[in-house]
Amino acid sequence: MNAGGRLALYGAGLVVAFGAAFAVAGAVVPGDKAATWVEKEEMNGHTEEAGASTHGSAAHATADALKGLSLSAGGFTLAPVDAPAAVGESGTLSFRILDEDGAPVTSYATAHDKELHLMVVRSDGELFRHVHPELDEGTGTWSLPWTWTDAGTYRVYADFTPDEKGAPGVTLTRTVEVAGTFAPAHPALTKTDEVDGYRVSLEGDLAAGSASELEITVSRDGAPVTTLQPYLGAFGHLVALREGDLAYLHVHAEGDDPQPGETSGPEIGFVAEAPTAGRYLLYLDFQVDGAEHSARFVVEATQAPHAEDSSTHDDSH
């Protein structure tokens, strides 16, 4: 598909509603909040049915929409994460998802070509990884080989869709401490990234409470890249974290599912809405020639003026 065709995404829209704040990353949602959580997930979550992928287009996150900041939600709980304890120690990262009765979940719906997406990022926004562990259906344990390269506190996000018709996506999280000296980074604002020889650029600005058009362009050696391949069922995959609380949302570009052999680029269009002013970390995954790449942007969402504030008196009358 050519670039113009994919830019029709502006019409269909990828609405990025960044998750709302929650003070305690490991807090457990009480049982009586489960129904409320499901309703919030329907607003921001994703489902896949009969091969069609959809994302909630209501991008009006509220202060009590706990997205990706709890270890328990929607009747599911992320059990403790087992991982190497120190930098350089080879081992396995593993965990289980438990249902409301405490039994391990062994069946999941496929969403974006996978049954579960695992995101791992250090508390300062560095060292982001998006991976896909394997499920032992006998024990309900997800696992993959793992080695930490740097010390610090890490957030581990499990993003999945329950194997129930029409079920919304669920994002659960826990923290993992990795021993060693840790000097937190302070990412500077940037709309460009150089990754594996590619230059990835972001155009557009975020305004809190207001929809904003964003366009990401991929180039190499000064030439536009028009061979973006489908990755996880789309040409662009975006994860957004709010700096500070690391509120999370996992999204994809919408539109028709890419067909085998189809390519796109160099532009990918988005419509984004941040719930509050502040700094946001955007991680874009894309694929070219069978190789996956990840670019990061750091942007500031400004406070959009209220409608009444944007109206000015016309002194010419």
Residue 15: pLDDT above 80? Answer: no
- What pLDDT score was predicted for residue 284? 93
- Residue ranges per structural domain of the chain: 24-178, 192-304
Q: Does domain 24-178 have CATH number 2.40.50.140?
A: no
Nearest-CA neighbor of 269 among 228, 221, 305, 307? 228
Confidence of residue 5 (pLDDT cuts 50, 70, 90): very low
pLDDT of residue 65: 54
Distance in Å from the first CA to the final CA of the chain = 51
For Cα atoms 303, 277, 247, give the angle at the middle one, nearest 5 degrees: 155
Measured between alpha carbons, how far is 248 from 173 in angstroms, rounded to an integer? 10
Q: How far apart are CA 217 and CA 202, in angstroms?
A: 7
202, 191 Cβ separation under 8 angstroms: yes
CA distances (Å), origin 17, targets 41, 44, 59, 106, 188: 12, 7, 5, 30, 22
Neighbour tally for 120: CB within 10 Å: 19
Q: What is the mean pLDDT of residues 80-101?
A: 97
H-run or E-run covering 269: strand 267-273
Contact (CB, 8 A) for 213 and 271? yes
With tokens 């957030």, the residue in question is 155
Instruction: Give the pLDDT of residue 294.
Output: 96
pLDDT reported for residue 276: 83
pLDDT in tens, 170-194: 999 999 999 988 899 999 999 999 9
Q: If we measure between CA atoms, which residue out of 156, 131, 154 comes closest to residue 144? A: 131
Highest mean pLDDT among 60-64, 155-159, 300-304: 155-159
Residue 268 — very low, low, confident or very high, per pLDDT cuts 50/70/90? confident
**Domain 192-304 in the same topology as domain 24-178:** yes
pLDDT in tens, 31-73: 333 333 333 333 334 444 333 333 333 333 333 454 678 999 9
pLDDT-derived band at 255, boundaries 50, 70, 90: low
Domain 192-304: homologous superfamily in CATH? SOR catalytic domain (2.60.40.730)
Identify the bridge partners of residue 77 per DSSP, sorted by sequence position: 72, 98
Give the pLDDT mean for 64-92: 89
234 compared with 267, residue with greater pLDDT: 267
Which of 17-26, 94-103, 114-123 shows the lowest mean pLDDT across its residues?
17-26
| Average pLDDT of every residue of the chain | 79
Q: Would you state the pLDDT for residue 249?
A: 61
Tokens coding 215: 């366009």
Amino acid at 253: A
Q: Please give the average per-residue pLDDT across 1-15, as a whole number.
A: 40
pLDDT at 36: 38
C-alpha closest to that of 251 among 46, 20, 43: 46
Is the predicted pLDDT of residue 7 greater than 60, yes or no? no
Q: How far apart are CA 27 and CA 132, in angstroms?
A: 25
